[in-house]
Structure 1
Amino acid sequence: MKKGFLIILALLSGCQATTPSSPTVPQAINTTYVARSHQPRINAIVIHYTVADEQRAITLLTGKQVSSHYLIAQYPKDHQTSPEIYQLVPEEQAAWHAGLSAWRGTYNLNKTSIGIELVNRGYSLPSGQHHGHCESYPPQQIAVLDKLVREIAERYKIEPANIIGHSDIAPLRKVDPGPCFPWQQLAQQGVGAWPDQKRVNKLLAGRAPDTPVDNALLLPLLKQYGYVFSAHATPQEQRQVIRAFQMHFQPENSSGQGDQLTLARLQALLLQYPWHH
């Protein structure tokens, strides 16, 4: 009797060992509530210039210190019809192109932007001078950039006011892409922000465009548009912030001394591209 009981127990144990385990049912995720305090992971495009030539730029941008998602050559090579576009960092990864930066309430734009470098010798501003020299951007290079920025902006639904230069997000450190960059041309083609001329004329209200304007009038409006700087900025730092705005939206006067045209263009931009913060 005892032997038979052991045989039955062994058979039952074998059955238990071969019984398939029940599949794990994934827990449903509740998506009823959506937080209001959020933003897209990629919400800006930042334009730079390299200062270095193409080969030197490739070496620098593929090294350990700095990187960019894209690099656009200056001219087509012999076998090309357009300048080369190099993708150096996948768009879903952060590139080290922005450094210490801020724009419209976002800090550290490395994590939230696409960086595009243009081969260009850059903008030189002699010490103590208000006007410098910059190298123009060839039409072929701008045509390639236009198409690339348009595609990226559409892919991530990037607002015009968030297509910006390095000098916009780091006005105390950077001047690229400089006053020779054709922001107005690109905006007229549907890429980026630019103040409407009729609105600017109306805001000028007949005042002479080159009449100086006090910094105290411009600085709060610059903050309202999205520039980030300390409330305790020195006069020199204030000039640098104003100059950053002018290099983007008033390249005919990038002295850092605001005038009535600076004010009117800034006011027009605030009306056209309000920042809800």
Structure 2
Amino acid sequence: MRALSRALRIGVISLTALLAACGSSGPFKFDDSYSAQGQNSRVRYLVLHYTAGDHATSLKVLTQRDVSAHYLVSDERRPTVYRLVPEERRAWHAGVGSWYGFTDLNTGSIGIEIVNMGRLPDGRWAPYTRSQIEALKVLIKDLAQRHGVTPRNIIGHSDAAPQRKLDPGPHFPWKELAQAGIGRWYNEAQARALQAQYATRPLPSAAQTQALLRKAGYDTPDSGVFDKATQNVIAAFQMHYRPARYDGLLDAETAAILQSLN
């Protein structure tokens, strides 16, 4: 959390410099003794990514190219949390996407990148380290509390852009974070009961599944068929809530989880 403390110090120094510049000899007098009641944070979402690169490459890409994130969590034994973009500014991390119909995610979110290689050439996925997950718990809790981000709006890049993104991937421990009070999870007892019921009744239709996915926040086609785009959304949902299998095909377990979201 050294990066957070450093950012706060920088903010105080910058404000102090502004106040000094606007003293009696400046073009205006600065007064912050009043505070408007009608305000809230611009941040509605926290979007998590993997970098698909090592530590040095991740830092270089996120600081020297036209892509950025507010925070980068390293993969060191004791992770460094880099604050690369001030929270009040817009980082370029989400791109084209949608969550609950909101499409300007860069403007309304904080982006958190995690140093992780993602999908490896042999098809396996790189694991996250225990120290990264513990650092993320502290960081995300702090951000969510300060900005009033609701659990359903703590998401992965693949949730907001299921047609083109896979990060943070199937190894990201969403359930563990939910158990720590971070993010949304489903009612597991209800899901088991519903899954058992599907042994004797049909699964939801394509139209019903698409409606449920939209209700869960996903940008889903309204085609009424299990087309490729819908399968991509189902796969993103599975990667978040049922990462053991994310083939994009609706089955009893996926349908039950989808209907049991808290």
Read off the aligned partner of 1:122 and give its amino acid letter. G
Which residue matches 1:57? 58
Which residue matches 1:43? 44
Which of the residues 195, 214, 233 maps onto 1:241? 233
2:194 aligned with 1:203, yes or no? yes
2:152 aligned with 1:151, yes or no? no
Kept after mapping to 1: 8 A contact 2:46/2:155:
yes
Give the structure-1-normalised TM-score: 0.75
State how far apart, in whole Å, the 1-side matches of 2:219 and 2:212 are: 11
Kept after mapping to 2: 8 A contact 1:213/1:259:
no
State how far apart, in whole Å, the 2-side matches of 1:231 and 1:206 are: 26
Kept after mapping to 2: 8 A contact 1:213/1:260:
no
Read off the aligned partner of 1:166 and give its amino acid letter. H
RMSD: 2.7
**CA apart distance, 1:234:** 7.7
Which residue matches 1:28? none
Kept after mapping to 2: 8 A contact 1:122/1:177:
yes
Which residue matches 1:74? 75
Deviation by residue 1:77-117 (Cα, 9 ceiling, x = unmatched): xxxxx211100000010100000011012112000001000
Which residue matches 1:107? 103
**CA apart distance, 1:243:** 0.3
Read off the aligned partner of 1:173 and give its amino acid letter. R
2:253 aligned with 1:261, yes or no? yes
Q: How many residues align?
A: 227
2:217 aligned with 1:229, yes or no? no
Runs of 4+ in 1 over 6 A off after TM superposition: none
3-state SS, counterpart of residue 123 of structure 1:
coil
**CA apart distance, 1:200:** 1.2
Kept after mapping to 2: 8 A contact 1:166/1:175:
yes
Structure 1 residues 231 and 39, CA gap change in structure 2 (3 angstroms):
farther
**CA apart distance, 1:213:** 6.1
Aligned 1:134-173 pairs, distance under 5 A: 134-173=125-164
Kept after mapping to 2: 8 A contact 1:204/1:261:
yes
State how far apart, in whole Å, the 2-side matches of 1:69 and 1:83 are: 16
Report the more deviating stretch, 214-223 or 157-166: 214-223
3-state SS, counterpart of residue 138 of structure 2:
helix
Structure of greater Rg: 1
Kept after mapping to 1: 8 A contact 2:49/2:112:
yes
**CA apart distance, 1:196:** 1.8
**CA apart distance, 1:162:** 0.4
State how far apart, in whole Å, the 1-side matches of 2:191 and 2:221 are: 28
Kept after mapping to 2: 8 A contact 1:123/1:176:
no
**CA apart distance, 1:125:** 8.8
Kept after mapping to 1: 8 A contact 2:203/2:255:
no
State how far apart, in whole Å, the 1-side matches of 2:248 and 2:237 are: 9
**CA apart distance, 1:52:** 0.8
Deviation by residue 1:122-179 (Cα, 9 ceiling, x = unmatched): 02598xxxxx521111111100011100000000111111000000000001000011
State how far apart, in whole Å, the 1-side matches of 2:121 and 2:206 are: 21
Structure 1 residues 39 and 173, CA gap change in structure 2 (3 angstroms):
farther
Kept after mapping to 2: 8 A contact 1:120/1:137:
yes
Read off the aligned partner of 2:147 and give its amino acid letter. Y
State how far apart, in whole Å, the 1-side matches of 2:42 and 2:117 are: 31
Which residue matches 2:183? 192
Give the structure-2-normalised TM-score: 0.79
State how far apart, in whole Å, the 2-side matches of 1:103 and 1:39 are: 20
State how far apart, in whole Å, the 2-side matches of 1:125 and 1:255 are: 19
**CA apart distance, 1:217:** 3.3
